[in-house]
Every structure is written in C-alpha cells, then in structure tokens.
Structure 1
Amino acid sequence: MHTMWKGSISFGLVHIPIKLFAATEEKDIKMRYLHKECHTPIKYEKVCPACEKEIETNDIVKGYEYEPGRFVIIEKEELEEISQEKNKSIEIIDFVKLDEIDPVYFNRSYFIGPSEHGEKAYMLLKQAMDDSGKIGVAKITLRAKEHLAVVRVYNKGLVMETIYYPDEVRKIDHVPGLPTEMNVNEKELKMAIQLIEQLTTSFDPSKYTDQYRASLMELIQGKITGNEVTIAKEVPQTDILQLMEALQASIEQTKPVKARAVRKKKVTS
C-alpha cells in the first residue's frame, strides 16, 4: 500500500510517528470522450477567450472573483506564506464520543500506520481510545488545505477521517417543501415500525454491490468478445527533420494558382 503522507499524531506533549494510507478507492469505470466521426480521443486545451490563443501552465495565475468580472490576484508566494503544509502533525484537540458526530460531516478515510520506532506509542493510543470509547477530533494539513478530522479505532489499527467544517454543511431548513408538524396515523405508524423490524439485520458490507458498474463491465466485455471495437485513427506526427519540408509544402499549397503556374513554366523552359 502506497504511503501518501508521513508525520505524527500529537495530543498534549505526546508525539507518535505515523504514516497515512488511502483507505478507500473509487471503482467507477472511466470512459474517454471520442470524436463521433473518427473515434479519436478529444484533446482539451487551455485557451484564453479574450486573447484567442492557447496558453501554457506558466501563464496561469490564481484569482478570487469578489464581484462578477472583478478579481484579486493571489500569488504563489502569498499562498505558501500562509500555508500550514510544513506542519506534519495530526494534532488531536479534543476527545469525544463517536455518536456525537452526525455522519453528514464525514468525508474521506485514511488508514493510520505506525512509522519506525512508533509501534509501542501507536498501540498505546489505540488501546486507550478503545477502552475509553472515545475518538479524537484533530486538525491536519493535506495538499495545502487545513482539514478537520477524527481519529478512531478501526479493527486492528487506527483510521483518520476528514470531516467537514460546520459552515460547509448546509442547513436542512433550506430544503424546499419540507413538511411541518402533521398528525401521523397511529395504525400506519405501527405498520411502518413493523416493516422496519422485519428488515432489520446486522450490517454486512459484502452483501452490497454496485449493480450498475457490474452491468456496464459486462456490456464492455461482451463488446470486446464480439469484436465490437473501434480503433482510433493515428494522429499524424511531424518529424523534426521533415518540418522544413512540411512548411515549404504548405507554403506552396497556399500560393495563388497563377503564381504556381508561372513558376512551373520557368522550370520547364
């Protein structure tokens, strides 16, 4: 498993060297956009609509649009100055109960593994959290962004999950058409509870599969087996040594017909 981050977990004066590993992965089937006529992959270019020309990455700066069409430019050096990226620590601020955090706050999961010489302290933290039934609320900087996160026990080790800040979670009151208080039929309520009880079971994640992804993969494999494949046209590449010849040929093709005829007559006479 690839190490994506190295640092430490700190709480109080305790520092535990650790590594982070991505705990999840997307299983979406990725497809390319092709030209309908020749099935060649579409190329996306960075173009300035005002200058009407393609631009390089070095010509791009970041700006914040504070009003429509009005920006303040933020330089790379200014971003680096306020960045907390140099702080390689998962700083645990508080310990709370897991059921106090609504699942709507959870974002991405990362496995935490001990670094060299950190095994004993790692297991000590895991055991202490397990026995207390508490999880740690922490802050960490990943990819130049400060994240709120929780550290908790997961099976044999620890897992860190980034969570949204309160102002990143929208208010449910903003959902249109939410019903207000209304009287619920007692008989219907009992039937609904009975149905829930009948469908209640222990959570087994292995029983749930992405049926759409499985059907799409079956469709793709069927087309490959049936030889229903298309081969993209090879995009012609101009060799550097042939560049001058290609330019000269292009010039000849774009010359007026009369000029080419006069030149041809001189050559034959």
Structure 2
Amino acid sequence: MHTMWKGTISFGLVNIPVKLHAATENKDIKLRQLHEECKSPVEYEKRCPVCEREIDSKEIVKAYEYAKNKFVVLDKEDLDQLKKEQEDKAVEIMDFVKLEEIDPIYFERSYFISPSEGGTKAYSLLRQALGDTGKIGIAKIIIRSKEQLAIVRVYENTLVMETIHYPDEVRSVQDVPNVPEETELSKKELSTAVTLIDQLTAEFDPEKYKDDYRTALMELIEAKKNNEEVTTAKDKPKPDNVTNLMDALEKSLEKTKGPKKKKTTKKKTKTTTSGKKKTS
C-alpha cells in the first residue's frame, strides 16, 4: 500500500512514528471526450489570452486574487518554505472526544495509519487506550500544502486518521432555500411513517450495497467492445516544416510592410507661347 505521508503522532509525552495510506479509492469510470467527427481525444491547452500563445507549466506562477484582476504573486520558494515549516512539526493530538459528538457532515477523507520503525509499541498503546475509553483524538496535520483538522480513531484493529472540515467550511443551514418550518402533521401520517421506518430497519452491512450504475456502465462498455463497436483515434498529423516556414515568412513580410501609403499625383505644368505656365 502506497505511503503518502510520514511523520509523528504524539499525545502527552508519547511519540509514535507513523505512515499514512489512503483508506479509500475512487472507482468512478472515467470517460474521455472525443471529437465526434474524427473520434480523436480533445486536447486542453494552457493558453495566455494576452500573449496569444500556449504556455509551458514552467511559466506558471501561483497567486491570490484579492480583488477583480488584482493579484498577490506567491513565489515557489516562499510556499515551499512555509510547507516545510509546517510539515516538520509533529502531529499532536490536542483533545479526546466521543465520536458521536461529531456530525458526519464534518468528515472528509480517511487514511489508514501504520507504525514506522520503532513505533509498534506506542501504536499498540494508543490503539488499546482509544478502544478502552471509546474516545477519538482531535489533531491537525498538513496534507498537500493544506492544514487539515483530523481525528484519530480505531477501525477494526487499525488506527485511522480522518480529515474533517473546519466549522467555517461547513455552510450554514440558514442559507438552504425553501426549507419548511414546523408543519402540522396528523397522528396517522406520522404513525404510518414510523411503522415504515421500523419495517425497513436493519443492521448496517456495507457488503449488500452495490454501485448499480457503475456495474451497468461497465457491462455496456464490454458488450460494445465484444461486438467490435470500437473506434481508433487517428494519428495526429505531423507538422510540415516547409509549410510552417513559408507561413512564418509570409507573416513576417506582412508585418514589415506596414500600412499602405496612398499614391499622390503630381500636377504637370506646361509653358504657353506667351511664356505663362499653365497647370493641367
């Protein structure tokens, strides 16, 4: 299992060298976008609208937009230093609380915790203590340049860290539109609803729930593949250096010409027999 973070978790004077591993994986079926006409994958370019050209990732910097079209540019060195300062700190468990005190809306992502070398006994100590007390630990951790609030708890025989949202990241229910106030319900309606809930009540068994859409989509893909309803993207045409060179030369010539000047006609003068000049 891939290690995505190494560090130390501490509570009190106990320090546990640990590793984090992603506990879940996204199994969504990824569909590519093709050009309908030639069935080639669509490309997305990073393009500067001012310079009117495609730019390389090395030319991109990060910035914070504090007002419309006004930015504070953040150097990579500044961000790397800030990240290092935070990552060098041990993850300290600040409080212990009961799991049921945290509403599920706060939970974000789960990570398995494994002990690093020399951390087995301290790992076992924290796991046993959390199990005996029925508590979970509240901590902070830097993951992918973001400080996360997290909990440490026991899952089966393993310690798990779950990142949770900060309170200001959870939107207020007051902003939800069209939520009804207390509605008057008849006793019969409520009794029928409660009876239905009781009839459908069961112990939670995650194995009985399947992603029917994903299964049906894969079956459709396999059926089309077996029936040879497939397409092969055409090779991208190679640039013609001669044509490109001519285009570049022609454009360069157009730029050097500049705006066309209007022709001016000079008036001719004739001399008459009397010696006077006549304009024609």
How far 1:173 sits from its partner (Å)? 1.1
- SS of the aligned residue for 2:6 comes to strand
Q: Is residue 100 of structure 2 the alignment partner of residue 99 of structure 1? A: yes
Q: Which range is displaced more, 182-191 or 167-176?
A: 182-191
Which of structure 1's runs of 4+ aligned residues deviate more than 4 A?
A: 249-256
Matched residue, 2:227 = 226
Distance 1:51 1:254, change over 3 A: closer
* CA distance in structure 2 between the partners assigned to 1:253 and 1:179 by the alignment: 66
Specify the alignment match of 1:261 in structure 2.
Answer: none
Over residues 138-164 of structure 1, what are the superposed CA-to-partner deviations in whole Å (9 max), with x where a residue is unaligned? 101111111000000000111000000
- Preserved CA contact (<8 Å) 1:141 1:147: yes
Match of 2:12 in 1: 12
TM-score (norm 2): 0.84
- 2:34 maps to 34
Residues 80 and 249 of structure 1, relative CA distance in 2, 3 Å threshold: closer
Q: 1:11 to 1:249 in 2, by over 3 A?
A: same
Partner residue in 1 for 2:192 = 191
Gaps (5+ residues) in structure 2?
Answer: 251-280
1:62·1:73 contact (CA, 8 Å) conserved in 2? yes
- Corresponding position of 1:167: 168
Tell me which amino acid in the other structure corresponds to 2:241: L
Cross-structure match for 1:68: 68
User: Is residue 215 from structure 1 mapped to residue 193 from structure 2 by the alignment?
Assistant: no
The answer to which of 7-16 and 86-95 deviates more is 86-95
Distance 1:136 1:122 in 2: 13
What is the Cα-based RMSD across aligned positions, in Å? 1.9
Aligned-partner residue type, residue 219 of structure 1:
L
2:65 aligned counterpart, secondary structure? strand
Equivalent position of 2:242 in the other structure: 248
Distance 1:213 1:7, change over 3 A: same
Structure-2 separation of matches of 1:34 and 1:124:
54
Give the C-alpha shift of residue 128 in structure 1. 0.4
SS in 2 for 1:159: strand
Q: In 1, distance between residues paired with 2:76 and 2:244?
A: 42
Aligned letter for 1:164? Answer: H
CA distance in 2, matches of 1:253, 1:72: 39
Partner of 1:59: 59
> 2:267 — aligned with what?
none
The residue correspondences of 1:140-151 to structure 2 (distance < 5 A) are 140-151=141-152
1:24 aligns to 2:18 (yes or no): no
Aligned length: 249
Deviations 1:208-261 (A, max 9, x none): 1111111110000000000000011012346xxxxxxx43365579999xxxxx
In structure 1, stretches of 5+ residues that fail to align are: 239-245, 257-269
Q: Distance in 2 between matches of 1:12 and 1:44?
A: 51
| TM-score, normalised relative to structure 1 | 0.87
How far apart, CA to CA, are the structure 2 residues paired with 1:39 and 1:58?
31
**C-alpha distance in 2, partners of 1:181/1:67?**
42
Structure 2 CA distance for partners of 1:141 and 1:255, relative to 1, 3 Å: closer
> Which residue in the other structure is 2:269 paired with?
none
Aligned partner of 1:171: which letter? S
Specify the structure having the higher radius of gyration (Cα): 2
**Distance in 1 (alpha carbons) for counterparts of 2:248 and 2:86:** 56
